[in-house]
Amino acid sequence: MNIKIHDDDTRETLPIALFDLHQISVEQLAELGVQQIAYVRPVLTAQGAAFGVFAANGAPLAVADSEELARAAIMQSDMAPLSVH
């Protein structure tokens, strides 16, 4: 499988390992996406309203003054940003 890189470079990738979701443990389920996905949601801090950045498992990662800044921090960390409403 080839993937397209921003500078028109292509690289070979390894196929994704398939696993049976019915056989996954609670611990494995909790860790899915932790290194790849982060979400943004409004939070209240001692300084007032802000936007929290959280790992896929809900662990807090950062706080930003704006949603745009929170999303930029996620992308800069090579993670995919999601919004929670």
Q: What is the pLDDT of residues 16-46, one digit of tens each?
A: 556 676 777 777 766 766 778 899 999 999 9
CB 30 within 8 A of CB 74: no
84: CB partners within 8 A, 6+ apart: 39, 40, 41
Pairing of strands 10-12, 60-64: unpaired
Q: Which residues share a beta bridge with 3?
A: 11
pTM: 0.63
Average pLDDT score over the chain: 77
pLDDT at residue 5 is higher than 50 = no
Give residue 4's pLDDT: 40
